[in-house]
Structure 1
Amino acid sequence: MKEKVLKLLKKHKDEFVSGQEISEQLEVSRTAIWKYINALKEEGYEIKSVSRKGYMLISTPDILNYEEVSEYLYTHYIGKEIFYFDSIDSTNVKAKELAINDGTDGVVVIAEEQTKGRGRLGRSWVSPNKKGIWMSIILKPQIDPQDAVKITQVTAAAIWKAMKQIGVSPQIKWPNDIVINGKKVCGILTEMSGELNRLNHLVVGIGINANTNIGEFPEEIRDKATSLKVEVGQDVDRKKLVGLILNNFEDLYNKLVEDRSIEEAIRICKENSAILGKDVRIIIKGEEKEAKAIDINAEGELIVQDKSGSISKIISGEVSVRGLYGYI
């Protein structure tokens, strides 16, 4: 009911809505309305109350719950249910718990802060409160397990499109990073549960340094990490960016699930690659080799050429790709 009160106030933004009108529309007592209004105020909503006039919504807080994100959401099922947390150990951990317990396709877990955020290969991910976008998407596609790796490319393309829509021009560093000016602004962690011929579920974790200040990064990663705020010089609208990512993701994800196509996602990843045409270090289980990144094929695999001219395919997974003299 609190959500319905908020929706009504948003519908009449910058206008007073009488307690009587809210009471009649929602069929609850005016005392109950008063309690819901106070609860919203405690969550950070600025609501003006004037006798004989009613209530007027003045401003909304910078939080990523469903009520705030839904304004920008045009999906059919991705993000239509959001589990929102002020603080959590890891959105991927929670999403995997929900997926096992019949969490439906498209459910999203979002937290304002992660205390044990994780990246690929067991790395930690710094996730300060209300500074970034820390979310995970539960997916239950009817695809072969070997096609699950394609989800990472779909996610990267969706994030790239969303950032372009807010005026940012990032690059994609295969297989799972978004970079701006050579520094990492976003990481993707895709985890799968399945058997040899059956996929149970996927969880796609997305971590974006949105409004993090440079001084809030640990000193040891400041030379290779950045945020959207650092790059554009001002705070970005986190709610809008979440909505845009989920909208773009559903479109590209549906093409994979329904048409078995990631053509658009691969095109975006190739045209905006941070590494294609460059010499890179490929790190697999601690072993390194140097090669030139020359292409990304239709399966989302990285095509590389070593110094002898031999060409091979690299599958994402337990692989890191680094520039010879830096992050990219």
Structure 2
Amino acid sequence: MNADRIAALSTSGVAVEVVAQTGSTSADLLARAATLTGPVLLVAEHQTAGRGRAGRSWLSSSENSLTFSLAWKFAGGPQTLLGLPLAIGAALGDALGLLGVQVQLKWPNDVLKDGDKLAGILVETQAAPGGGTWCVIGIGLNLLMPDEVEAQLGRSAAGAPWLARMERDVLMAALLDALANCLRLFEQQGFAAFCARWNLRHAWQGETVVLLDNGAVVHEGRAAGVEETGRLLLDTEAGRITVMAGDVSLRVKA
């Protein structure tokens, strides 16, 4: 992949960097946040220590996946960023749809294809010197899913062979533009601008689901989408409740 070509193909105005290998693109950008002067996209052709929510690892390879992080500064504090991972999911879903890959969204931060995970989103924050908040948005997108990788994961996962045939620089530029447009709109309107778009792609709308915390069921009910701050709406026997996206796992009830 070529940083100059990605930047030239993109209309975002974001600085682009490409490295052959690193541990984690998100960790690298967080370490540099205090010295950044503008948005930066960091793409790794191979990432050895990618991570997801709750410290989970993200397996990737240069042949089979696209791994990158985008550092973006917001003027407000972390409290102004409610729903940001979901907004990014909605934008990513729309961008993939335009590229010919139809996806669904799982609360709070997964992109699914045919019921299996295609991409994951991890948003991490750090206070910016002089005020504001740096957000580092890490994304791992499966392009191909060989049997041996599924065996390592211990579960089925999705691939997008159509995207794997695209020129990587063109694909990355298209995703960067979608993300930059998303973040600019989020700065102005918050998650309310994305709520309907997210609900249209909700994978488990109307399904009976359980919320797990360390393996224990903490809530059970029928998934009813999300509301305008990004909280999950769950219709339980006791009535409708809202759930924040803490360290919980959402599953369809067996």
After TM superposition, the runs of 4+ consecutive aligned structure 1 residues lying more than 4 A away are: none
* 1:245 corresponds to 2:179: no
Instruction: Assess, with a 3 A threshold, how the Cα gap between structure 1 residues 191 and 261 changes in structure 2: closer, same or farther.
Output: closer
**Aligned partner (choices 14, 38, 47) of residue 105 of structure 1:** 38
Quickly say closer, same or farther: Cα 1:233–1:94, change in 2 above 3 A: closer
Aligned mates of 2:184, 2:227 — CA distance in 1: 20
Query: Which of the numbers 241, 250, 253 marks the counterpart of 1:321?
Result: 250
C-alpha displacement at 1:298, in angstroms?
Answer: 0.7
Preserved CA contact (<8 Å) 2:95 2:178: yes
Q: 1:72 to 1:216 in 2, by over 3 A?
A: farther
SS at the partner of 1:217?
helix
Compared with structure 1, are the counterparts of its residues 104 and 216 closer, same or farther at alpha carbon in structure 2 (3 Å cutoff)?
A: farther
Q: Does 1:156 align with 2:156?
A: no
Q: Is the 8 A contact 2:90 2:197 kept in 1?
A: yes
Distance 1:178 1:237, change over 3 A: farther
Number of the residue aligned with 1:217: 149
Give unpaired runs (5+ residues) of structure 1. Answer: 1-62
Matches for 1:22-171 after TM superposition, within 5 Å: 63=1, 65-76=2-13, 80-100=14-34, 102-171=35-104
- 2:117 is aligned to 184
State the structure with more CA Rg.
Answer: 1
- TM-score normalised according to structure 1 size: 0.71
CA distance in 2, matches of 1:253, 1:281: 31
Superposition deviation, residue 233 in structure 1: 9.1
- The answer for the alignment partner of 1:37 in structure 2 is none
Identity %: 25
Which whole-Å CA distance do the structure 2 matches of 1:161 and 1:272 have between them?
9
Superposed CA deviations along residues 247-293 of structure 1, whole A, max 9, x for unmatched, are 11222211221x23333422211001102211112123443232211
| TM-score normalised by structure 2 residue count | 0.90
Return the offset for 1:234.
6.0
Q: What is the number of equivalent residue pairs in this alignment?
A: 251
Measured in 2, the distance between the counterparts of 1:224 and 1:209 equals 12
**Structure 2 residue ranges without an equivalent (≥5):** none
- Whole-Å Cα distance in 2 between the matches of residues 151 and 160 of structure 1? 14
1:185 positional shift = 0.6
User: 2:156 corresponds to which letter in structure 1?
Assistant: K
User: Is the alpha carbon distance of 1:314 and 1:280 closer, same or farther for their aligned partners in structure 2, counting shifts above 3 Å?
Assistant: same
Contact 2:20 2:46 in 1 (8 A): yes
In 2, Cα distance between the equivalents of 1:309 and 1:167? 41
How many angstroms does 1:153 deviate by?
1.5
